[in-house]
Structure 1
Amino acid sequence: MLKVIITVVLLALFVTGIGYQQLQTTINSPLKTPQNTLFEVKKGTGFNQLCQQWQAKQWLKDCFRYQVLAKLDPTLTDLKAGLYQLDTGTVLDNIRRINQGKQASFSFTIIEGQSLREVLAAISHAEYLRNDLILDELSQQVLGSDKHLEGWLFPDTYHYHANDTASSVLKRAHKIMQSVLDEAWQNKAPNLPLKSAYEVLIMASIIEKETGLASERPLIASVFTNRLNTKMRLQTDPTVIYGIGADFDGDIKRKDLTTYTPYNTYKINGLPPTPIAMPSKPAIFAAVNPPKSEFVYFVAKGDGSHQFSKTLKEHNKAVQDYLRYQKQLNK
């Protein structure tokens, strides 16, 4: 009798050992998928179906042991639909990623100084993003009003999941822009020649397009503020180019400066009717807090920076210096 008991105990320990070994093997088995594979879990997909799909792709050997494990831990069967980036970690780690809904993340970037037309062209090609934008209804879709959408999208990188909508990304960009603009307007300098936060947005967009150097934004802002205060026209090429639109060929001509459009600041007084690009936060804050200066002119030096002048005489000399510099470069 004792021998029988000992035999049963030993057999039980042996079986338990095998079971433990199998459990450890199951827990530590890697998913044999190429690194960073995208896999879609469709709505309604069950645990057995998922396992069979992976087995058919030869990413795992068999499903039985995982089905047994799922009986012991029912949370494994809670699969959330979406597009997931699988890796070569364990099968269970990848299943847990799906249990937790940690979908693959993609990104879309709005660049400082981009126009609305450029943003829309870029977002139409954003991967895995559903383009639900209707051109005739853009303002209502994104802003919830009939305001012109230009300028209202904050330059930043926005992360999203597969099948999110383009309008949802742009709504987030608008919400941040509104918040930044509100903050700037509340902290504006006294006696600013801008009557509303929207005029700040317009001014900031011009500042953004006039210089690629962050350090120059405040001085550019001071020039335009001085011009508005003295009733001078802004006379800025980026607004003229914006008014030309898609017909601009990359070379601004004299006739472009003399042809009227609502955006030709050589022909109109004050600001154009809308922003001309998506301004950055530094450009917005430069617009509401320009440094005090006597500068009313500036000319590009050709290296991305500008020469600032207080008088037309100084400005004309700076232009001549720049032209001579260009001639030397072209020799």
Structure 2
Amino acid sequence: MTKVIVSVLLLALLCCGIGYQQLQSALKMPLKVENSTLFKVERGTGFNQLCQAWQTKQWVDSCFKFQVLAKLDPTLTDLKAGLYELDTSAVIDNIRRINQGAQVSFSFTIIEGQPLRDVVANIQKQAHLSQDLDIENLATQISNTQENLEGWLFPDTYHYHSEDSASGLLKRAYNKMQQELDTAWQTRAPDLVLSSPYEALILASIIEKETGLASERPLISAVFTNRLKTNMRLQTDPTVIYGIGADFDGDIKRKDLTTYTPYNTYKIKGLPPTPIAMPSKAAILAAVNPPESEYVYFVAKGDGSHQFSKTLQEHNRAVKQYQLN
């Protein structure tokens, strides 16, 4: 009898040892996928469904070992829907990624100085993003308060997951611009010529389009501020180009400067009715805190920078030097 008991115990230990080795091998077993393989877990997918789908794709040889592991560790069966990037690490590690909801992340960038039409065109091309934009009523869809969304989307890189909505992403950009603009407005110069945060947004968008050099933004702001204070026209080409719209061929002509549009600052006084692009934080800060300066003119040097002048005579000399020659 003793021999029988010992034999049974030894057999049991042997089976346990074999089972333990099998489970250990299952824990280390790699998922047989190509690197960076995307896999979508649908809502309501169960553990067995997941494993069977992987077996069908020949990513795992058998589900039995993993089903046993799931019995021992029920947290493995808590699968979160989404799109996941699978790799050749252990099957269990890939399942843990799904347990944790660590979905693959995509990104969309709004570039400083982009007009609304370019932002919308680009977001409509984004992969794995639910395209739900109501183009005809975009301002209402995103903001609920603005009549025009131009200028209201903060330039930044926004991360999103599969099936997130385009409108949701733009709402995040809108909310961030509201926050940045409100914060900047609280730090505005006490004698600022601008009367509202929206006017600051308009001026910031013009500053953004006038120079690509961060160091010049304050002086550009000073020139426009001085012009607004003395009731001079802004006479800035980017507003003219914006007024022309999609018909602009890349070459601004004399007739463009003399043709009236609400954005032609050679014809109108003061600011145009809306922003003309998405301004950066630096451009907004420059708009609300222009430095003290006597400059009222500037001209492009041709190397990305500008020559600033205090008088028309100085400006005409600069134009002759940098433009006419």
Q: CA deviation at 1:145?
A: 2.0
User: 2:44 matched to 1:15?
Assistant: no
Aligned to 2:190: 190
Q: CA deviation at 1:322?
A: 0.8
Q: CA deviation at 1:140?
A: 1.0
Two-structure CA RMSD over aligned residues (Å) = 1.1
User: 2:88 matched to 1:91?
Assistant: no
Aligned to 2:258: 258
Q: Secondary structure at the match of 1:107?
A: strand
Percent identical pairs in the alignment equals 72
Residues of 2 paired with 1:170 and 1:10: CA distance?
Answer: 66
**Amino acid across the alignment from 1:247:** D
**Amino acid across the alignment from 1:203:** L
Alignment check: 8 A CA contact 2:260 2:267 kept = yes
Q: CA deviation at 1:323?
A: 3.1
Higher mean C-alpha displacement, 42-51 vs 270-279 = 42-51
Q: CA deviation at 1:8?
A: 2.7
5+ residue gaps, structure 2, are none
Q: CA deviation at 1:14?
A: 1.6
Alignment check: 8 A CA contact 2:301 2:323 kept = no
Residues of 2 paired with 1:293 and 1:139: CA distance?
Answer: 37
Q: Secondary structure at the match of 2:298?
A: strand
Q: CA deviation at 1:173?
A: 0.2
Aligned to 1:308: 308
Residues of 2 paired with 1:146 and 1:289: CA distance?
Answer: 25
Residues of 2 paired with 1:173 and 1:257: CA distance?
Answer: 33
**Amino acid across the alignment from 1:171:** K
User: 2:292 matched to 1:292?
Assistant: yes
Q: How do 1:65-84 residues align onto structure 2 when only pairs under 5 Å count?
A: 65-84=65-84
Residues of 1 paired with 2:175 and 2:66: CA distance?
Answer: 45
Q: Secondary structure at the match of 1:233?
A: coil
TM-score by length of 1: 0.96
Q: Secondary structure at the match of 1:313?
A: helix
Aligned to 1:218: 218
Q: Secondary structure at the match of 1:307?
A: strand
Q: Secondary structure at the match of 2:299?
A: strand
Q: Structure 1 stretches (4+) deviating beyond 6 angstroms? A: none
Q: CA deviation at 1:4?
A: 3.1
Aligned to 2:272: 272
- CA deviations on 1:101-140 (whole Å, 9 max, x unpaired) are 1111111000000000000000000111111111111011
Aligned to 2:48: 48
Residues of 2 paired with 1:175 and 1:146: CA distance?
Answer: 12
Residues of 2 paired with 1:323 and 1:215: CA distance?
Answer: 22
Residues of 1 paired with 2:101 and 2:260: CA distance?
Answer: 55
Q: CA deviation at 1:54?
A: 0.4
Q: CA deviation at 1:96?
A: 1.1
User: 2:229 matched to 1:240?
Assistant: no
Q: CA deviation at 1:250?
A: 0.2
Q: Secondary structure at the match of 2:164?
A: coil
**Amino acid across the alignment from 1:236:** T
Higher mean C-alpha displacement, 35-44 vs 233-242 = 35-44
Residues of 1 paired with 2:44 and 2:14: CA distance?
Answer: 40
User: 2:117 matched to 1:117?
Assistant: yes
Q: CA deviation at 1:63?
A: 0.4
Q: CA deviation at 1:144?
A: 1.0
**Amino acid across the alignment from 2:183:** E
User: 2:34 matched to 1:34?
Assistant: yes
5+ residue gaps, structure 1, are none
Q: CA deviation at 1:75?
A: 1.6
Aligned to 1:158: 158
Aligned to 1:147: 147
Q: CA deviation at 1:44?
A: 2.0
**Amino acid across the alignment from 1:7:** S
Aligned to 2:137: 137
Residues of 2 paired with 1:10 and 1:284: CA distance?
Answer: 78
Residues of 2 paired with 1:287 and 1:146: CA distance?
Answer: 21
Q: CA deviation at 1:2?
A: 3.9
Residues of 1 paired with 2:9 and 2:33: CA distance?
Answer: 41
Residues of 1 paired with 2:146 and 2:193: CA distance?
Answer: 26
